[in-house]
């Protein structure tokens, strides 16, 4: 149980460090006056603080087990595994919404893109639900005295199907972004531009999710102490990716439009994430608000 407590504390420490490093940006972009509730702010708060909640829960549960039990009850292991799974899936869903809203704004909020994104996400969600119902029954699993599973969590093809669906979803989303940004001026500029921020953040998110999914696959088939680090690190990566994508893009938009925003008294956080006025019109090369 010492390893489990160390893994939980590591996850919480990483989340706390990331919150400390982004505290100024968060205060300026999220909590400034007058406070207005927007989709972007809600997504940021969910991504940031749901991840923190999961980490605090892991630490509290691990500390309680260490001081309360020598052999952890089966039902306690079951509920903890369910919570960890739901927490990671919820954070992943929030990150998906953030990425889809970027694509939606980038493609001029067209109805056809809404349908495409809904179909893509529905297919990915169906794969997750099917995998869970068909290949994963937590209440039939056996745990040892420190909550290690006595056999791999998923000995069949369920985890492989889930990871394949997630990889295809990420590839499609980032391909849609790349299709609009890679050929535009400034995409590969060393000086941050809107297009370069979109492209680099997309690459970072894709890489982070890929590493996370590979780690989850290894954790589902392993039984050693190292598997205890998978969930805290996965929660940290997903939570950090979602919140930093929002901060970086909104910070860049604020720097570009600070003069016009201050003169109009408008909130830089749009009702729909990254309102199309933030993006240049990709057909004519002119911003929408200048047409």
**Domains (range + CATH), the chain:** 2-278 (1.20.1070)
How far apart (Å, rounded) are the C-alpha atoms in residues 246 and 195?
A: 14
Contact 232, 83 (CB under 8 A): no
Q: Does residue 174 surpass a pLDDT of 50?
A: yes
- Burial code (b: 16+ CB inside 10 Å, e: under 16) for 116-154 equals bbeebbeebeebbeebeeebbeeeebebeebbbbeeebb
- Distance of CA 171 to CAs 130, 202, 214, 285, Å? 21, 10, 15, 26
Digit-coded pLDDT (tens) for 60-113: 998 988 888 777 788 888 888 889 889 999 999 999 999 898 888 888 888 899
Among 29, 7, 12, 13, CA closest to 244 = 29
How far apart (Å, rounded) are the C-alpha atoms in residues 95 and 87?
A: 13
How far apart (Å, rounded) are the C-alpha atoms in residues 219 and 209?
A: 15
How far apart (Å, rounded) are the C-alpha atoms in residues 51 and 87?
A: 8
pLDDT given for residue 50 in this prediction: 96
The full length of the chain comes to: 291
pLDDT given for residue 263 in this prediction: 42
- Distance of CA 151 to CAs 66, 155, 201, 242, Å? 23, 8, 37, 33
Helix residue ranges per DSSP H, 107-221: 111-135, 158-181, 194-221
Digit-coded pLDDT (tens) for 271-285: 344 443 444 444 444
How far apart (Å, rounded) are the C-alpha atoms in residues 258 and 248?
A: 15
DSSP state at residue 274: S
pLDDT given for residue 122 in this prediction: 94
What is the DSSP annotation of 75-98? HHHHHHHHHHHHHHHHHHHHHHHH
Digit-coded pLDDT (tens) for 26-40: 988 888 888 888 888
pLDDT given for residue 23 in this prediction: 92
> 179: pLDDT confidence band, cut at 50, 70 and 90?
confident
State the number of CA atoms in the 13 A half-sphere of 141 facing the CB. Answer: 25
Digit-coded pLDDT (tens) for 156-172: 577 778 888 888 998 89
How far apart (Å, rounded) are the C-alpha atoms in residues 284 and 58?
A: 51
Digit-coded pLDDT (tens) for 6-15: 999 999 999 9
How far apart (Å, rounded) are the C-alpha atoms in residues 287 and 232?
A: 42
How far apart (Å, rounded) are the C-alpha atoms in residues 86 and 197?
A: 30
Among 58, 68, 71, CA closest to 5 = 58
Per DSSP, what are the bridge partners of residue 287?
280
pLDDT given for residue 254 in this prediction: 54
Q: Does residue 267 surpass a pLDDT of 50?
A: no
Helix, strand, coil percent values for the chain (each to nearest 5): 75, 0, 25
Q: Average per-residue pLDDT in the chain?
A: 77
């Amino acid at each position: 149980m010492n390893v489990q407590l160390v893994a939980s504390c590591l996850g919480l420490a990483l989340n706390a460090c990331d919150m400390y490093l982004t505290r100024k940006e968060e205060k300026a972009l999220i909590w400034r006056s007058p406070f207005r509730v927007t989709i972007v702010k809600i997504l940021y708060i969910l991504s940031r603080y749901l991840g923190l909640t999961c980490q605090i829960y892991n630490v509290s549960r691990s500390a309680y087990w260490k001081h309360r039990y020598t052999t952890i009850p089966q039902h306690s292991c079951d509920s903890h595994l369910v919570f960890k799974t739901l927490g990671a899936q919820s954070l992943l869903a929030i990150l998906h919404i953030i990425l889809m809203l970027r694509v939606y704004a980038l493609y001029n909020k067209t109805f056809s893109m809404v349908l495409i994104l809904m179909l893509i996400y529905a297919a990915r969600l169906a794969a997750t639900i099917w995998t869970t119902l068909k290949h994963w029954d937590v209440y039939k699993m056996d745990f040892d005295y420190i909550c290690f599973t006595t056999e791999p969590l998923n000995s069949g093809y369920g985890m492989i199907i889930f990871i394949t669906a997630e990889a295809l979803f990420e590839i499609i989303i980032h391909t849609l972004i790349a299709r609009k940004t890679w050929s535009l001026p400034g995409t590969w500029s060393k000086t941050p531009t809107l297009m370069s921020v979109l492209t680099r953040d997309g690459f970072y998110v894709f890489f982070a999710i890929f590493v996370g999914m590979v780690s989850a696959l290894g954790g589902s088939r392993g039984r050693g102490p190292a598997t205890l680090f998978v969930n805290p690190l996965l929660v940290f990566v997903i939570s950090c990716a979602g919140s930093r994508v929002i901060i970086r893009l909104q910070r860049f938009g604020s720097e570009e439009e600070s003069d016009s925003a201050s003169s109009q008294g408008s909130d830089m956080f749009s009702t729909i994430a990254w309102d199309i006025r933030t993006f240049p019109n990709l057909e004519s090369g002119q911003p929408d608000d200048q047409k």
